[in-house]
Structure 1
Amino acid sequence: MPPASTEAVNDRQALARQILDVCLNVKSSQLAWECRKRGCEILTTIQQEDLWLRSIIEAPFESLDRLPKHMVAALEKTDVYIYTLGPSRPVPWDKIPKERRKLVTRWFLEDNNFVKAWKKIAKASGVRMLGIEATLATPGTAKALGLDYQAWRRIMFAGCMVDYHAVAEQARRLAKIVGRKGIVHITTPHGTDFRFRLDRRPV
């Protein structure tokens, strides 16, 4: 693997500080090193993409639907759980049997034993969790999607670096508006022209 550019290293250092200082308020890779410098004990786990995909396609469903004992033990002793999103290449949906495709997004489809067990332990132990979406921007995925990799990467990292307290405040103000009834019309200088109806749904 070629050495990371100075720009990439600086981005990762800035992202690590953003995650620890702003998002998680932790006072005690670059991310692991920033954690270590603050006196945090670190456990790094890696999900190999080829193994992940083969498990989705072939592994017994029961083995994927339960939270393994070693993960239970680690989670019960964890204060902060930080994970990077992947894979680094587009998911080959055509290779995954239709009835197993929901396993790809089991983290987001919470009606499964794996996530239920994870949430129960995390809630009981007060685990703070954070997913890093910037890692979705990879050269392979950009090429497959027809995107400019550098531009996409900058956008994804910029999104991770925003002041999420300010974003939350804006979201609270918007929630009061979109929880009403009426028609919303959104336009931008880039050509967006989008209309939708509000129906007093809780936000």
Structure 2
Amino acid sequence: MTAPSFVRNVVRTCLRIGPGDSVSIFTWRHTLDLAEAFALECQKAGAKTHLEIETDELYYQAVLDLPIKYLKGPNPFSLALLDVATANIFLAGPENPERLKRISPERMSAMVEADKPYNNKLLERKIRSAHIVSGYVTPQRAKTYGFDYDKWKRNILAAIDVDYNHMRELGKKVGERLEEASEIRITADNGTDLTLALEGRDSHVNDGVIDDEDIKKGAIFTALPAGNVAVAPKERSARGIFLSDIPEPDAGLLIRDLALRFEGGKLVSLEGSQNAEAMKARWVKARGDKDQASWLIVGLNPAAQEGYVYNKIILGSVTLGIGDNREIGGKMESDFGAHCTVGKPSVDLDGKRFVDRGKFVF
């Protein structure tokens, strides 16, 4: 088997795997060859490895047919792995997303509840973790969302094979500007007009590499393709409306024109022109800080194209997230999370133009 060229970069550069590491690799049946390649590369770097496999049939049988009470408890085997793991590699799935749309909000909430102990331990032990998004690129998923499979596959490989040093330098500049700003205003031709307080919040540069500085900040996750800067805005500071102009895949559906409206620092409405009902139903039933603008993300990746499953890395884009933000050092905790993106926004930091219609101006 010939391993994809990016495998070595993920192992050696992004996760910095070496002797003494214990790497847990989560894979689906359709990504098993890639998981094997990662395991071999980790072993060549001196690490020990463990593979955990899921299949579409096992997954859907559990989430669609089992009693909800069985979904709420964490998997003790997966949880125990985190007592010894120093790094994780997650390969994306399932292969076919068609049945995702049949998962009820109650079942989705139960699964999120089951994942809480797992996510808490990842954060507590600061286990370096990489999510490999290329596992989403399947003919079945392309058909479900109406994507051109070959074009999608070419784009995701191009978005992984970028100049990481250049992206890191750009991310450093963007992060510094965001940390210096007290207030950010995002506007766009589609009617977006949202203001958030930043007030010196730490920025988290997702350049694909988890270094010691990232770990100190609690930024232990990366996703490939990478390329964005994330900030947790000041709690209850959002005012205005954020209107997505890029379709967003979510649970087997393609959501269009998602609109998030904030009043008095709280999300008061979540609407969309197509397929937003399922997300809204999950939001209504969710618990915790579900009504907060909790993520602000600026894209850095020059090769990523809009309309697939990684909109938040598109160069010059702005993504707004709601729900849990502890992953980037925030205080919001919830069993709900969602995001949407404006592709060519204008952004002002303390009244000074920072991004003009999707292009940086510094």
TM (norm. structure 2) is 0.44
Q: 1:175 maps to what in 2? A: 178
Q: How does 1:111-122 map to 2 (within 5 A)?
A: 112=113, 114-122=114-122
Post-superposition shift, 1:179? 6.2
Q: Relative to structure 1, is the Cα distance of residues 182 and 97 closer, same or farther in structure 2, using a 3 angstrom cutoff?
A: closer
* Residue aligned with 1:158, SS: helix
Q: 1:76 maps to what in 2? A: 83
Post-superposition shift, 1:194? 4.7
Q: Relative to structure 1, is the Cα distance of residues 179 and 57 closer, same or farther in structure 2, using a 3 angstrom cutoff?
A: farther
Post-superposition shift, 1:118? 1.1
Counterpart Cα distance in 2 of 1:196 and 1:139: 34
Contact 1:13 1:31 in 2 (8 A): no
Counterpart Cα distance in 2 of 1:184 and 1:84: 35
Does 2:9 align with 1:18?
A: yes
* Residue aligned with 1:43, SS: strand
Q: 2:263 maps to what in 1? A: none
Q: Relative to structure 1, is the Cα distance of residues 31 and 200 closer, same or farther in structure 2, using a 3 angstrom cutoff?
A: same
Structure 2 alignment gaps of length 5 or more = 20-35, 199-230, 232-362
* Residue aligned with 1:44, SS: strand
Counterpart Cα distance in 2 of 1:94 and 1:119: 24
Which gives a bigger RCO, structure 1 or 2 (Cα 8 Å, sep 6+)?
A: 1
Structure 1 alignment gaps of length 5 or more = 107-111, 186-192
Does 2:43 align with 1:47?
A: no
Contact 2:71 2:107 in 1 (8 A): no
Q: 1:188 maps to what in 2? A: none
TM (norm. structure 1) is 0.74
Q: 1:31 maps to what in 2? A: 38
Q: 2:294 maps to what in 1? A: none
Q: Relative to structure 1, is the Cα distance of residues 137 and 160 closer, same or farther in structure 2, using a 3 angstrom cutoff?
A: same
Q: 2:196 maps to what in 1? A: 200
Contact 1:76 1:122 in 2 (8 A): no
Counterpart Cα distance in 1 of 2:126 and 2:184: 37
Post-superposition shift, 1:16? 1.0
Post-superposition shift, 1:46? 0.7
Q: 2:95 maps to what in 1? A: 88
Contact 2:98 2:141 in 1 (8 A): no
* Residue aligned with 2:93, SS: coil
Counterpart Cα distance in 1 of 2:124 and 2:105: 35
Q: How does 1:93-104 map to 2 (within 5 A)?
A: 93=100, 95-102=102-109
Contact 1:18 1:161 in 2 (8 A): no
Post-superposition shift, 1:171? 4.3
Contact 2:92 2:136 in 1 (8 A): yes
Counterpart Cα distance in 1 of 2:181 and 2:98: 34
Q: Relative to structure 1, is the Cα distance of residues 155 and 117 closer, same or farther in structure 2, using a 3 angstrom cutoff?
A: same
Q: Could you tell me which amino acid in structure 2 is paired with residue 91 of structure 1?
A: E
Counterpart Cα distance in 1 of 2:168 and 2:148: 30
Contact 2:55 2:94 in 1 (8 A): no
Contact 2:97 2:144 in 1 (8 A): yes
Q: Could you tell me which amino acid in structure 1 is paired with residue 137 of structure 2?
A: A
Q: Could you tell me which amino acid in structure 1 is paired with residue 92 of structure 2?
A: L
Q: 2:63 maps to what in 1? A: 56
Structure with the largest fraction of helix: 1
Counterpart Cα distance in 2 of 1:60 and 1:180: 47
Q: Could you tell me which amino acid in structure 2 is paired with residue 165 of structure 1?
A: R
* Residue aligned with 1:46, SS: strand
Q: Could you tell me which amino acid in structure 2 is paired with residue 175 of structure 1?
A: L
Post-superposition shift, 1:34? 0.6
Structure with the largest fraction of strand: 2
Q: Could you tell me which amino acid in structure 2 is paired with residue 180 of structure 1?
A: E
Provide, for residues 68-108 of structure 1, a one-character-per-residue CA deviation record: whole Å limited to 9, x for no partner: 2222221101011110111111232454345324457x3xx
Post-superposition shift, 1:154? 1.8
Q: Relative to structure 1, is the Cα distance of residues 174 and 195 closer, same or farther in structure 2, using a 3 angstrom cutoff?
A: farther
Q: Could you tell me which amino acid in structure 1 is paired with residue 47 of structure 2?
A: C
Counterpart Cα distance in 2 of 1:86 and 1:103: 19
Q: Could you tell me which amino acid in structure 1 is paired with residue 127 of structure 2?
A: V
Contact 1:78 1:127 in 2 (8 A): yes
Q: 2:154 maps to what in 1? A: 154
